Amino acid sequence: MSEKYDLIVIGAGPGGYVAAIRGAQKGLHVAVVEADRAGGTCLNRGCIPTKAMIHASSLYREMNEGGRFGVYAEGVSYDYEKICEYKQETVDALVGGVQQLLKGNKVTFIEGKGTLLPPENGMNAVSVGDETYYADNIILAAGSKPASLPVEGIDLPHVVNSDGLFALDHAPESLVIIGGGVIGVEFATVFANLGSQVTILEALPKILDNFDKEISQNLKMILKKRGVDIHTSAMVKGFSETENGLVMATYEEKGKEAAAAGEYVLVAAGRRPVTEGLFADGAQPEMNGRYVKVDENYMTSIPGVYAIGDLIGGIQLAHAASAHGIRAIESICGAPATQNVAVVPAGVYTDPEIAIVGMTEAQAKDQGIDVVCGKFIMSANGKSLITKEERGFIKVVAEAGSEKILGAQMMCARATDMIGEFTTAIVNDLTVPDMLRSIMSHPTYSEGIGEALEDVHGMSLHTAPRPSRR
Ligand code: NAD
């Protein structure tokens, strides 16, 4: 019999590698099974490479716009190959770091594709190739992959998903993006910055449809200003090749047939859990549609077998997967929960950035919760004026009466960093007066948080008095 472990983790993405390290820190004998490099989608094909591309492409745009600050650069250009090299170096450094951490924590790295087997003699089991490994506990963290579209022409060579787009050796002259979700708007930001002609086709009435309405509207305006052509309520029906080598996407927009052509088409229409080959016959736990069903500790219907991250549906974010992994380890070790996994902040790395946590005003109202809200327009924020930011805002939603913080929505520079203040407030049941006890340093973007909180009481110092309050 192969060596027996306390824990085998299938998948070394941000869910799996975090669970493996935390398990080892807690004294468990751990193995992680991974068919690719450590780091999963987030490090290799998702969050990290995209943010590197956003950073490089934004720098290029900002250099071209330096005249706004009296700074002029001549002959500003970019070398796409070099941008990709920088992106890959960043990815490699982080992947190398994760590999070192696994090694340093004495986690065995088993290369190959792991398949859950039915329990044998009371032990859970995983096969990798011809080998079988046994463990008391197994965490399934196999992640997700880009969803395809069931439409004609999806296999054309210039119709790619985010993985395919990363593999290009040049920035396409024109790009049609199917889906105005998070991936769609982030790639639109990158390629519009680099001068590509970008079109977004989104089936729903808004881009970033599940975000606050004002965020979607503002982003649409800003992207349009940067030359992005955006069509909403536009359902894509198929793709074909044109005579001049472009790809034509046909879509139905408000009942009418229309078409958009580009050198490449990016399909960014959601992601699907990776369950193919994950379960041997008789080893599939109860499912929730295509997702693995779990309890509050992320245990599946099979005792000792857990599932985390994109495999279980819900919020598909790296940090949510990591939090699930930590909770699963705490459950395995009989330790109390240290994190509130119900409150998950989310960030979109457009320019300006977008970040949300908790409830919007509309969601609170839908749930019958009486709320008070505060809002600050960042054009009155000193730091935003210095850096000439696009029009942005910070909104806070609190329970009426108690003024307990319920949610926040931000669209401004550094929003993805600042949202943490509200996450801390929500998980600790802080109120508006609790948050207002902190003095904000000046000049900072975070002064906008204080102003939005003050606005709950109609006391924002840098907002013109509302007539109703006179
Ligand atoms: P998504 O679900 O956010 O957006 C997909 C969009 O495609 C939807 O708005 C949908 O209406 C649209 N769509 C689907 N079929 C269509 C069709 N035939 N025609 C036109 N539009 C169509 O999915 P995504 O953007 O692919 O992202 C996948 C996951 O990855 C998400 O859960 C996202 O949160 C996560 N992600 C997060 C970040 C981040 O946190 N910054 C970045 C990238 C991805």
> Is pLDDT above 90 for 467?
no
Across 187-223, b (16+ Cβ under 10 Å) vs e yields bbbbbbbbebbbbbbbbbebbbeebbeebbebbbebb
- C-beta of 212 in contact with ligand 1 (< 6 A): no
Domain boundary among 235, 250, 269: 269
CA distance 470 to 468: 6
Q: Strand pairing of 305-307 and 131-140?
A: parallel
Which is the closest atom of ligand 1 to the Cα of 182? 25
pLDDT the model gives residue 135: 98
Residue closest via CA to ligand 1's atom 41 equals: 348
CATH number at residue 381: 3.30.390.30
Both 260 and 169 in a single domain? yes
Output the pLDDT for position 465.
Answer: 81
User: What is the mean predicted confidence (pLDDT) over 57-67?
Assistant: 96
Asked whether residue 399 carries a pLDDT value surpassing 50, the answer given is: yes
Summarised one tens digit per residue, pLDDT across range 75-88 is 999 999 999 999 99
Q: Let me know if residue 57 belongs to a domain.
A: yes
Q: Which residue has the tokens 């977004």?
A: 200
Q: Strand 229-231 to strand 197-201: parallel, antiparallel, or no bridges (unpaired)? A: parallel
Q: What is the pLDDT of residues 108-141, one digit of tens each?
A: 999 999 999 999 998 999 999 999 999 999 999 9
**Pairwise CA distance, residues 17 & 96, whole Å:** 13
Whether 265 is in the pocket of ligand 1, judged by its Cβ within 6 Å, is no
Whether 204 is in the pocket of ligand 1, judged by its Cβ within 6 Å, is: yes
pLDDT > 90 in the chain, percent: 96
Share of the chain above pLDDT 70, in %: 99
Q: Does position 470 have pLDDT exceeding 50, yes or no?
A: no
- Residue 33 clears pLDDT 60, i.e. is over it: yes
Q: Are the CB atoms for 414 and 445 separated by under 8 Å? A: yes
Residue 188, C-beta contacts closer than 8 angstroms, at least 6 positions apart = 177, 198, 200, 223, 228
**End-to-end CA gap in the chain:** 80
Mutate to test the pocket of ligand 1, among 43, 162, 183, 266 (most ligand atoms within 8 A of CB): 183
Name the pairing type of β-strands 234-241 and 229-231: unpaired
99 by Cβ neighbours in 10 Å (0-12 / 13-18 / 19+) ranks as: middle
Q: Among 254, 269, 284, where does a domain finish? A: 269
Hey, is 40 helix, strand or coil? helix
Q: Give ∠ CA 216-217-219 in degrees, rounded to 5.
A: 65
Token pair for residue 68? 């706004």
Cβ(414) – ligand 1 distance below 6 Å = no
CA of 131 to the centre of ligand 1 (A): 37
What is the reported pTM?
0.95
pLDDT at residue 3, as a whole number:
78
Q: Compute the average pLDDT of residues 399-410.
A: 98
Dig out the tokens for 161 from the structure.
Answer: 């998903």
User: Which of 222, 241, 269 is the last residue before a domain boundary?
Assistant: 269
Q: What is the mean pLDDT of residues 277-301?
A: 98
pLDDT tens digits along 422-435: 999 999 999 999 99
Residue whose entry in the numeric block shows the structure tokens 């008789």: 282
Q: Is residue 435 part of a domain?
A: yes
Calculate how far, in angstroms, residue 269's C-alpha sits from the geometric centre of ligand 1. Answer: 5
Specify the pLDDT at position 1.
58
Q: How confident is the model at residue 466 (pLDDT cuts 50, 70, 90)?
A: confident
Enumerate the active-site residues. 442
Which of ligand 1's atoms lies nearest the C-alpha of 348?
41
The tokens of 295 are what?
């309890």
* Residue nearest (by alpha carbon) to ligand 1 atom 24: 270
Is the same domain home to 19 and 114? yes
Of 59-63, 285-289, 379-383, 461-465, least confident by mean pLDDT is: 461-465
The neighbour count for residue 172, using CB atoms within 10 Å, is: 20
Q: Which amino acid is at 142?
A: A
Ligand 1 pocket test, candidate residues 182, 216, 250, 322, most atoms within 8 A of CB: 182
The verdict on 77 and 166 lying in the same domain is no
Q: Can you give the pLDDT at residue 274?
A: 97
- Token pair for residue 146? 């880009």
Between CA 226 and CA 278 the distance in angstroms is 43
Q: Are residues 98 and 110 in the same domain?
A: yes
175 part of a folded domain: yes
Residue 167: its pLDDT value, please? 94
Q: Which domain holds residue 19?
A: 4-146+272-332
* Number of structural domains in the chain: 3
Q: Which atom of ligand 1 is nearest to the CA of 346?
A: 40
Q: Is the pLDDT of residue 464 over 90?
A: no
Q: How far apart are CA 470 and CA 457, in angstroms?
A: 14
The rounded distance, in Å, linking the Cα atoms of 47 and 42 is 5
- Asked whether 178 and 49 are in contact (CB, 8 A), the reply is no
Closest Cα to atom 2 of ligand 1: 270
Same domain, 139 and 189: no
For 130-173, the pLDDT digits (tens) are: 999 999 999 999 999 999 999 999 999 999 999 999 999 999 99
Same domain membership, residue 432 and residue 405: yes
Ligand 1 centre to CA of 184 (Å) is 7
| Same domain as 12, residue 137 | yes
- Is residue 28 predicted with pLDDT exceeding 50? yes
Do 86 and 164 lie in one domain? The reply is no
409 in a structural domain = yes
35 & 126 share domain: yes
Residue 338, domain member (yes or no): no
**220 shares a domain with 209:** yes
Same domain for 426 and 383? yes
Pick the atom of ligand 1 nearest to 207's CA: 9
Domain of residue 64, CATH code: 3.50.50.60
User: CB of 94 closer than 6 A to ligand 1?
Assistant: no
Which of 242-246, 327-331, 388-392, 464-468 comes out lowest in average pLDDT? Answer: 464-468
Q: Classify residue 298: in a domain, yes or no.
A: yes
Within a domain: 36: yes
pLDDT value at residue 468: 60
What is the structure's pLDDT at 132? 96
* Predicted local confidence at residue 448, as pLDDT: 98
Is the separation of the CB atoms in 457 and 393 below 8 Å? no
Q: Assess whether 251 and 180 both reside in one domain.
A: yes
Mean pLDDT score of the chain: 96
